Chain A
């Protein structure tokens, strides 16, 4: 066997399945104590022998169907009666919408009772005698298989598929190329990335505006221990592209005692201990929103990446791969403003980020 390089290189008869069948006969001892006793005799239910019980079951089923009808009527009534904004207190669910509660319950009961009725009917009144059906192997009989192979060979031969290589190869070529048109059509799903992921809306001289008051920020607005969210001046919620821009421009500001700032560049880019960092997590882009004043750590609530704002926004825990980008800020005419754009792309990293 081995010299012909048979696929298995192991004699078929050593495979469990083959040996199983080989042994099958031997195992069957004439007086096998474990022999299959066959299907157990059918046991009658009370409904099979007692007509009274059967009638009781019938009434139960009918009652369930009737209950379903009533529930549907109740559903329609609830739809008409309850105004959509009516709130009621129902123990133990608390304050709930009367309409939602009543519609759901009546619909639920209407449906459930149909199901309960049908199942009870099947279990108590329909025959519960188990019967056996034969199975037939899924595999086709050898003669069927032979016929199919013969038909296929005939068809293949008549097509000349194997003989006329030119037709075959050009057909493969055409079929391989034609899906390209659908790929091409997908091109206009969106623009090319170009440098879009690199820059943000921050530029030299753009003031920092408080997100909650919509007023330009002054250094004295930012107290030690507070966390302030800022956006670039000129970016308004009503802008068409607001979401797109705020997804990159959102800032968070904290004030740290300058002597506590460990990173030199961070100190240089800060103003009197006020540091401005991108609010967008470098992991997958959630806005970071949890600030621990004592340690100057910020935590992203989505995947718990933790950054140290006193140490260049370094990652100290969690799945984020690089530090938070810092915005270089200064003060002009008493207001905080950007010195330049972020030095690196904000948000999650990407192949061209570098």
Chain B
């Protein structure tokens, strides 16, 4: 066989240049085997699968623009008196970090544009990760074998938040400096080691001269380095697992239906990068972000009203704002619960969503691989939990902007704070109950549709005067889509006394597990999908209903 192939090659004469380059690379890198597996790899299509792409592309945009910004930015807290081209700031004392940010904005042609693209892309990146994560959550795409990739994604989200925070702190303007002061207060609130950590991180008392250069290293090297590694791992796993797909005709757990990487996905995904980049460039052209020149340099004794962090820090900000000011003095030591509790709740809430895949698989005892996505309605408990989590998150975003809510809607700040305090606990419970109801209602509707067909909107008058609406039966494809999901039965502990009358000890964890399993698959938490018998009985006998 191989002889024959080489014979044809020789007959053809010298191979084309591209092929020769590829041959060279294959001899050293083995690219042909790699390409064989991946060049025509199938990717399923759905608009929501673009959310992850938005994250990837905005990350690339951030790296590109960030490298440009480092060419002009001076991460130094040495003080200078400003004499640059922005006249209103003449004679103002500021750090070199702030001065160079002004220079980027007013003296480097296109510098302002790149700064704004960088910042807008960061907001899009974080928002994209959040929405992408929700897509993965609500469709159950995190299930085996993708739990590890879910964690990689989660880490990217968390690291993204801190990269964003250290990034917007770098200009050393009045707003970001206030954010850094906030961090100092948070560090001081850590029991036992707080003041030591504060001294070590800031290189002395606040603000000192070290924090901006240190944040710079963290922002441009440490965090992006880790994120790049995680991102590559995330993508490798996406390729390795192959993408999930929504259920539908011809789509099973053992196949992947879509279009090949070359050419369709190459063109669509590659094109999408340019769409995202172009979109962000236009936003950066028309919408100012973080106008540090209007805010001024940081001074620890000055502040502006309406100070807000970037949106992804709003959740933590809300926790800190609405927490009651509890502070204990015990044996000469101060524990500042007013700050400590929020900074403990913050990671706990995040971790709750991160470990969810493992909790769900433990409860349900599900050890199968899942490549077909769930429709959110078919997993009411999971969907309810996700909406509850989002509710807590958005309630705290309201808390984080309580001053803006107060001034824009003429509300009392005290009332808003109390609303947030209560809603943080009550809101998620209500959201859970309501969401689950809605899911079950949608399941009922699916069942109706399968058994009785689609409402056609055509009203028919029967000979005896009765009006009925004509229902059109669904086609095979829709019938399959609406009934393909599994409805596992809940775990049962079984009889605790065996046939010989010997009692079997059931550990408490198993009882809890059985109970939770009821919460997922129990009678009240699932609408049994129509069976073939039901369907046949209804469709065979008497026409429309």
Q: Which residues of A contact B (CB under 8 A)?
A: 2, 8-11, 14-21, 29, 31-40, 79, 84-85, 93, 96-97, 99-105, 107-119, 121-123, 126-135, 137-138, 186, 189-193, 196-197, 211, 229, 231, 237-238, 240, 243-244, 246-248, 250, 279-280, 283-287, 289-290, 301-305, 315, 317-322, 347-354
Binds A, one of B123-131, B347-355, B504-512: B504-512
Q: Provide the residues of chain A in CB contact with B329, threshold 8 Å.
A: 354
* B324 interface hit (Cβ, 8 Å): yes
B65 to chain A, nearest CB (A): 11
**Across the interface, do A2 and B325 meet the contact criterion of CB distance under 8 Å?**
no
**Across the interface, do B301 and A229 meet the contact criterion of CB distance under 8 Å?**
yes
* B396 interface hit (Cβ, 8 Å): no
Bound together, the chains give a CA A72 to CA B428 distance in angstroms of 50
Q: Provide the residues of chain A in CB contact with B488, threshold 8 Å.
A: 16-17, 19-20
Which residue of chain A lies nearest to B330 when distances are taken between CB atoms in the complex?
A354
Also in contact, A134 and B254, with CB within 8 A (given A10-B510, A32-B532, A301-B403)? yes
**Across the interface, do A14 and B264 meet the contact criterion of CB distance under 8 Å?**
no
Q: Provide the residues of chain A in CB contact with B85, threshold 8 Å.
A: 84-85
Q: Select A349's contact among B198, B284, B336, beta carbons within 8 Å.
A: B336
**Across the interface, do B113 and A103 meet the contact criterion of CB distance under 8 Å?**
yes
**Across the interface, do B275 and A119 meet the contact criterion of CB distance under 8 Å?**
yes
**Across the interface, do B195 and A79 meet the contact criterion of CB distance under 8 Å?**
no
Also in contact, A112 and B249, with CB within 8 A (given A34-B480, A131-B42)? no
B396 to chain A, nearest CB (A): 13
**Across the interface, do A350 and B486 meet the contact criterion of CB distance under 8 Å?**
no
Which residue of chain A lies nearest to B503 when distances are taken between CB atoms in the complex?
A2
* B469 interface hit (Cβ, 8 Å): no
Given A14-B494, A285-B300, 18 additional A-B pairs, CB 8 A: A15-B491, A32-B532, A33-B479, A36-B249, A40-B249, A99-B109, A104-B281, A108-B279, A108-B281, A108-B282, A112-B275, A115-B278, A211-B301, A247-B206, A247-B301, A289-B302, A320-B338, A348-B339
**Across the interface, do B181 and A122 meet the contact criterion of CB distance under 8 Å?**
no
Q: Provide the residues of chain A in CB contact with B62, threshold 8 Å.
A: none
Bound together, the chains give a CA A289 to CA B202 distance in angstroms of 25
**Across the interface, do B208 and A244 meet the contact criterion of CB distance under 8 Å?**
yes
**Across the interface, do A133 and B320 meet the contact criterion of CB distance under 8 Å?**
no
Q: Provide the residues of chain B in CB contact with A117, threshold 8 Å.
A: 271
Cβ proximity bits B319-347 to A, threshold 8 Å, 1 near / 0 not: 01111111101001111111100000000
Q: Provide the residues of chain B in CB contact with A107, threshold 8 Å.
A: 113, 278, 281, 285
Which residue of chain B lies nearest to A211 when distances are taken between CB atoms in the complex?
B301
**Across the interface, do B207 and A244 meet the contact criterion of CB distance under 8 Å?**
yes
Q: Select B205's contact among A100, A211, A238, A244, beta carbons within 8 Å.
A: A244
CB contacts under 8 Å to A, within B285-316, are 285-286, 298-307
* B257 interface hit (Cβ, 8 Å): yes
Could you show 21 A-B contacts with beta carbons less than 8 Å apart?
A9-B505, A10-B513, A15-B365, A16-B365, A16-B488, A93-B286, A107-B278, A107-B281, A118-B267, A122-B263, A126-B263, A130-B258, A133-B256, A134-B254, A189-B203, A190-B210, A191-B199, A289-B303, A348-B184, A348-B339, A349-B188
* B106 interface hit (Cβ, 8 Å): yes
Q: Provide the residues of chain B in CB contact with A211, threshold 8 Å.
A: 301
Bound together, the chains give a CA A247 to CA B207 distance in angstroms of 8
Bound together, the chains give a CA A110 to CA B242 distance in angstroms of 33
CB contacts under 8 Å to A, within B354-383, are 364-369, 371
Also in contact, A16 and B282, with CB within 8 A (given A8-B510, A119-B275, A250-B301)? no
Also in contact, A126 and B264, with CB within 8 A (given A34-B532, A237-B93)? yes
* B535 interface hit (Cβ, 8 Å): yes
Q: Select A287's contact among B200, B300, B402, B535, beta carbons within 8 Å.
A: B300
**Across the interface, do B249 and A20 meet the contact criterion of CB distance under 8 Å?**
no
Also in contact, A285 and B334, with CB within 8 A (given A37-B477, A118-B267, A133-B42)? no
**Across the interface, do A112 and B279 meet the contact criterion of CB distance under 8 Å?**
yes
Bound together, the chains give a CA A284 to CA B450 distance in angstroms of 59
Which residue of chain B lies nearest to A229 when distances are taken between CB atoms in the complex?
B301
Bound together, the chains give a CA A102 to CA B286 distance in angstroms of 10
**Across the interface, do B320 and A319 meet the contact criterion of CB distance under 8 Å?**
yes
CB contacts under 8 Å to A, within B160-203, are 178, 181-182, 184-186, 188-196, 198-203
**Across the interface, do A122 and B267 meet the contact criterion of CB distance under 8 Å?**
yes
Bound together, the chains give a CA A316 to CA B337 distance in angstroms of 17
Q: Provide the residues of chain A in CB contact with B369, threshold 8 Å.
A: 137-138
**Across the interface, do B189 and A348 meet the contact criterion of CB distance under 8 Å?**
yes
**Across the interface, do B302 and A287 meet the contact criterion of CB distance under 8 Å?**
yes
Bound together, the chains give a CA A347 to CA B206 distance in angstroms of 11
A309 to chain B, nearest CB (A): 17
Also in contact, A100 and B181, with CB within 8 A (given A137-B369, A283-B325)? no
Also in contact, A244 and B307, with CB within 8 A (given A84-B106, A229-B301, A286-B178)? no
**Across the interface, do B185 and A319 meet the contact criterion of CB distance under 8 Å?**
no
Q: Provide the residues of chain B in CB contact with A131, threshold 8 Å.
A: 42, 257-260
Q: Provide the residues of chain A in CB contact with B48, threshold 8 Å.
A: none
Bound together, the chains give a CA A103 to CA B479 distance in angstroms of 53
Which residue of chain B lies nearest to A117 when distances are taken between CB atoms in the complex?
B271
**Across the interface, do B181 and A40 meet the contact criterion of CB distance under 8 Å?**
no
Cβ proximity bits B463-486 to A, threshold 8 Å, 1 near / 0 not: 000000000000011011001101
**Across the interface, do A351 and B307 meet the contact criterion of CB distance under 8 Å?**
no
**Across the interface, do A246 and B274 meet the contact criterion of CB distance under 8 Å?**
no
Q: Which residues of B contact A (CB under 8 A)?
A: 41-42, 79, 85, 93, 106-107, 109-110, 112-113, 116-117, 145, 178, 181-182, 184-186, 188-196, 198-208, 210, 240-242, 249-250, 252-260, 263-264, 267-268, 270-282, 284-286, 298-307, 320-327, 329, 332-339, 364-369, 371, 402-403, 413-414, 417, 450, 476-477, 479-480, 483-484, 486, 488-494, 504-507, 510, 513-514, 517, 521, 532, 535-536, 539
Q: Select A111's contact among B203, B278, B371, beta carbons within 8 Å.
A: B278
Also in contact, A114 and B327, with CB within 8 A (given A29-B532, A348-B184)? no
Most chain B C-beta atoms within 10 Å of own C-beta, residue among A36, A122, A190, A321? A321
Most chain B C-beta atoms within 10 Å of own C-beta, residue among A8, A21, A130, A285? A285
**Across the interface, do A101 and B286 meet the contact criterion of CB distance under 8 Å?**
yes
B56 to chain A, nearest CB (A): 14
Also in contact, A133 and B242, with CB within 8 A (given A10-B493, A20-B488, A108-B278)? yes
Which residue of chain B lies nearest to A12 when distances are taken between CB atoms in the complex?
B365
Q: Provide the residues of chain B in CB contact with A246, threshold 8 Å.
A: 299-301
Bound together, the chains give a CA A39 to CA B79 distance in angstroms of 68
Which residue of chain A lies nearest to B117 when distances are taken between CB atoms in the complex?
A104
**Across the interface, do A193 and B199 meet the contact criterion of CB distance under 8 Å?**
yes
Q: Select A128's contact among B259, B299, B336, beta carbons within 8 Å.
A: B259
Q: Provide the residues of chain A in CB contact with B324, threshold 8 Å.
A: 319
**Across the interface, do A322 and B327 meet the contact criterion of CB distance under 8 Å?**
yes
Q: Select B275's contact among A20, A116, A129, A238, beta carbons within 8 Å.
A: A116
**Across the interface, do B271 and A39 meet the contact criterion of CB distance under 8 Å?**
no
Q: Provide the residues of chain B in CB contact with A118, threshold 8 Å.
A: 267-268, 270-271, 274
**Across the interface, do A132 and B185 meet the contact criterion of CB distance under 8 Å?**
no
Give the 5 A-B CB pairs with smallest separation, nearest first: A104-B285, A284-B185, A112-B278, A321-B327, A118-B271
B429 to chain A, nearest CB (A): 24
Q: Select B339's contact among A101, A132, A186, A283, beta carbons within 8 Å.
A: A283
**Across the interface, do A244 and B206 meet the contact criterion of CB distance under 8 Å?**
yes
Q: Provide the residues of chain B in CB contact with A128, threshold 8 Å.
A: 259, 264
Bound together, the chains give a CA A123 to CA B45 distance in angstroms of 12
Q: Select B199's contact among A15, A35, A127, A190, beta carbons within 8 Å.
A: A190
Q: Provide the residues of chain B in CB contact with A190, threshold 8 Å.
A: 199-204, 208, 210
Q: Select A105's contact among B282, B320, B325, B336, beta carbons within 8 Å.
A: B282
Q: Provide the residues of chain A in CB contact with B325, threshold 8 Å.
A: 283, 305, 315, 318-322
A122 to chain B, nearest CB (A): 4
Most chain B C-beta atoms within 10 Å of own C-beta, residue among A128, A248, A320, A348? A348
**Across the interface, do B300 and A354 meet the contact criterion of CB distance under 8 Å?**
no
Also in contact, A317 and B489, with CB within 8 A (given A115-B272, A190-B204, A192-B199)? no
Also in contact, A103 and B110, with CB within 8 A (given A36-B250, A122-B268)? yes
